[in-house]
Structure 1
Amino acid sequence: MPVVVGDIMKLLCSISEERKMKAAVKHSGRGALVTGAVAFVGGLVGGPPGLAVGGAVGGLLGAWMTSGQFKPIPQILMELPPAEQQKLFNQATAIVRHLEWMDAVQLTTLVMGSEALQQQLLAMLVNYVTKELQAEVQYDD
């Protein structure tokens, strides 16, 4: 049974697509920084009322800066460089190594039939996205 990186990537894409997972890869930290900075300046200039207004304005500005920055995780996975895909492949293969499958379709069918495997792969994927890509994961329910 040759294990192919593309099969594992398709599996991870299917799982994350089913859960409607997105990640903010860029600018989420910048949005938080702007929110805090505007609240700080508002507090310096206007005291407690300025802090409240600065926090509200900074929050809106930070939200505006990060809006549209969330990308679907399947898209992020397919855009990863080969070395990063290999990292994910190694981690996912450790979870599904006991399964016998011939192609990505069969592998996906087997995993989608097991809630336990889905949960293990999702946990691994969320951990990878948050730790390695330093991104925030969001579910669109």
Structure 2
Amino acid sequence: MPISVNDIMQLLCRVSEERKMKAAFRHSGRGALVAGATAFVGGLVGGPPGIAVGGAVGGLLGAWMTSGQFRPIPQIILELPPVEQQRLYDDAYAIIRNLDWTDLAQLTALVMGNAAVQQQLLGMLMSYLTNELRAEIKYGD
């Protein structure tokens, strides 16, 4: 039975919500830029000691910036561009295509009642988030 991309996104949201999955994105390039910029400014203002102070302050600020804020995975899924949602759809559909359902509610009930299918969907979703989006995954609150 054909199912829309939005319906599959809702299914993936439900499965990840059940496990209370969250993800954070690391922005190491931005942190390195901040650390370098503050060291440079410190050097301009205070000479060699300013480089040390600016580097230390910039390093702490850069580390704080790259720590990432954890966001619920359902929110991340729904904010993905259509091309990425289609990619997730294709991967998820390959897992659920052999299930027999008539609508989204029945499909969701089938998936939520089948631990093996849930694990396959979660594995696919985790692989996508960690490999493609370079996210760090966390379970629970």
Tell me the TM-score normalized by structure 1: 0.73
> CA offsets, 1:19-56, max 9 Å, x none?
1111112x45359869xx9xxxxxxxxxxxxxxxx8xx
* Contact 1:31 1:61 (C-alpha < 8 Å) held by counterparts: no
Aligned-pair CA distance for 1:140: 2.0
Going from structure 1 to structure 2, the CA distance change for 1:63 and 1:139 (only over 3 Å counts) comes to: farther
Structure 1 portions without partners, runs of 5+? 38-53
Distance 1:105 1:63, change over 3 A: farther
Q: Distance in 2 between matches of 1:73 and 1:97?
A: 23
**Residues 21, 139 of structure 1: 8 Å contact kept:** yes
Which residue number corresponds to residue 126 of structure 1?
A: 126
Query: Equivalences for 1:91-130 in 2 at 5 Å?
Result: 91-130=91-130
Q: Describe how 1:17-32 pairs up with structure 2 within 5 A.
A: 17-25=17-25, 27-29=26-28
Give, in whole Å, the separation in 2 of the partners of 1:140 and 1:63.
24
The question of whether the paired residues in 2 share the 8 Å contact of 1:24 and 1:137 is answered with yes
Tell me if the contact between 1:13 and 1:77 (Cα under 8 Å) persists in the aligned partners. yes
Shift of 1:7: 1.3
Let me know the Cα RMSD of the aligned residues: 3.2
> Structure 2: how far apart are the matches of 1:6 and 1:75?
13
* Separation of aligned partners in 1, 2:27 and 2:133: 12
Which structure 2 residues correspond to residues 1-141 of structure 1 after superposition, within 5 A?
Answer: 1-25=1-25, 27-29=26-28, 64-66=64-66, 69-141=69-141
Cα distance change, pair 140–77 in 1 and its aligned pair in 2 (3 A):
same
In structure 1, give the amino acid aligned to 2:28. Answer: G
Q: How many residues align?
A: 129
Structure 2 unaligned regions, length at least 5: 37-55
1:31–1:63 contact (8 Å) kept in structure 2: no
Aligned-pair identity in percent equals: 62
Larger CA Rg, structure 1 vs 2: 2
Normalised TM-score (structure 2): 0.73
